[in-house]
Amino acid sequence: MDIQLSVQQLAKRYHTGEGVKSISLDVRKGELVTLLGPSGCGKTTVLRSIGGFLEPDSGDILIEGTSVLKAPPEKRPTSMVFQGYNLWPHMTVFDNLAFGLKIRKMKKSDIRKAVDDVLELVRLPGAEMKFPSELSGGQQQRIALARSLLLKPAVLLLDEPFSALDAKLRHEMREELREIQAETGLTMVFVTHDQEEALSISDRIVVMNHGHIEQIATPQEIYDRPDTLFVAQFIGKMNFLKGVVSEGQIRAGKLTFPNPKQLSGKVRLAVRPEDVVLDGREEGGLTGSVKQIMVLGHYAEVTVQLPEHGVIRAFQPRDAVKELNSGDRIDVGFKKVLAYPEDQA
């Protein structure tokens, strides 16, 4: 598949010491790749470097096989959607959208058609004569997205575009962005610190930490097989227990597990709450006591206190916990565990 964007050994350091180093990433044509990580991990530095708003210290950025490193933002085949909508308040929606096309000397009739088409695409037909102040936050973000789409960029850059919206609207906008991407075939690089957002919209996720890449993989792979302890801690809910390698197997209390990574010594075990098995009769499990039962819609979250390992959270079918009460003694087992070297902690 064609590589639309190639970031090669990118480095950018600030005087604070923060920044990125040795960032290499290829994005395929028509792919939506998300840069995910905590604040200060370098994801926005990478995005702004691609857009030309930051000059890297070293490395190269190629779009459609051509280096854009020396080109200013307006000369790059990119367009950026910011967290703030950046709409001109004194201009109508039509004029906000048409501005970039007028600079490109497009015919009036072509501009009118392009604006009508893009308003249909972002589900705001008939909004062209409104002013930004007459639109909701979600509608303003749709217009900001439409303005970028009109420029037909080779790569569309999105910098936490939905973070100012409420939860319901964020969810709707994610779905719409995915539909727009499927319809247009645009290549997109999306930045967020919201793991749920990244898991829901991405073809691939780039997990970043302290200026470097921890893992690049599909959402399913990132969730099921985190490469490092950091990724395991950052993506989704996870339980952590102490374990040790003994006679080639990983042990946690009375439980033993395979050791495919050939780890040795002390290890950290990671278990998803949905992989925790609760059974009052399970022999050889880890015995603990029920601390709390919270019914969360169709499932329940059961918190169990284990003497040697602290608190474990388990997701259980709602009907399965009807007979369970706080203070009950219970045995805990695990369907699937991941293991990491203790020194990664």
Q: Compute the distance between CA of residue 339 and CA of residue 239 in angstroms, rounded to an integer.
A: 12
User: Rounded to 5 degrees, what are φ and ψ at 99?
Assistant: -55, -50
pLDDT value, residue 67? 95
pLDDT at 298 over 60: yes
Using pLDDT thresholds of 50, 70 and 90, give the confidence band for residue 303: very high
pLDDT value, residue 161? 86
Query: Nearest-CA neighbor of 50 among 37, 38, 67, 30?
Result: 67
Mean pLDDT, all residues of the chain: 90
Using pLDDT thresholds of 50, 70 and 90, give the confidence band for residue 253: confident
pLDDT value, residue 207? 96
Domains and CATH numbers, the chain: 3-231 (3.40.50.300), 240-344 (2.40.50.100)
Question: What is the DSSP-derived secondary structure letter of residue 337?
Answer: -
pLDDT at 159 over 70: yes
Q: Are strands 155-159 and 78-81 parallel, antiparallel or unpaired?
A: parallel
Using pLDDT thresholds of 50, 70 and 90, give the confidence band for residue 280: low
> CB neighbours (10 Å) of residue 165?
17
Using pLDDT thresholds of 50, 70 and 90, give the confidence band for residue 175: confident
Q: Compute the distance between CA of residue 160 and CA of residue 84 in angstroms, rounded to an integer.
A: 9
pLDDT at 201 over 80: yes
pLDDT value, residue 233? 92
Using pLDDT thresholds of 50, 70 and 90, give the confidence band for residue 167: confident
pLDDT value, residue 284? 62
Task: Report the Cα 66 to chain-centroid distance in Å.
Answer: 28
pLDDT at 130 over 60: yes
Which residues, at least 6 apart from 321, have a Cβ–Cβ distance to it below 8 Å?
Answer: 293, 295, 300, 302
The amino acid that residue 117 corresponds to is D
Q: Compute the distance between CA of residue 333 and CA of residue 60 in angstroms, rounded to an integer.
A: 49
Q: Compute the distance between CA of residue 16 and CA of residue 342 in angstroms, rounded to an integer.
A: 30
User: Rounded to 5 degrees, what are φ and ψ at 149?
Assistant: -65, -35
Mean pLDDT of 145-152: 88
Q: Compute the distance between CA of residue 192 and CA of residue 181 in angstroms, rounded to an integer.
A: 17
pLDDT at 283 over 60: no
Mean pLDDT of 277-300: 81
Mean pLDDT of 13-33: 92
* The model's pTM: 0.89
Which residues, at least 6 apart from 314, have a Cβ–Cβ distance to it below 8 Å?
Answer: 273, 276, 277, 278, 301, 302, 303, 304, 332
Query: Nearest-CA neighbor of 332 among 268, 254, 269, 260?
Result: 254
Share of the chain above pLDDT 70, in %: 98
Using pLDDT thresholds of 50, 70 and 90, give the confidence band for residue 214: very high
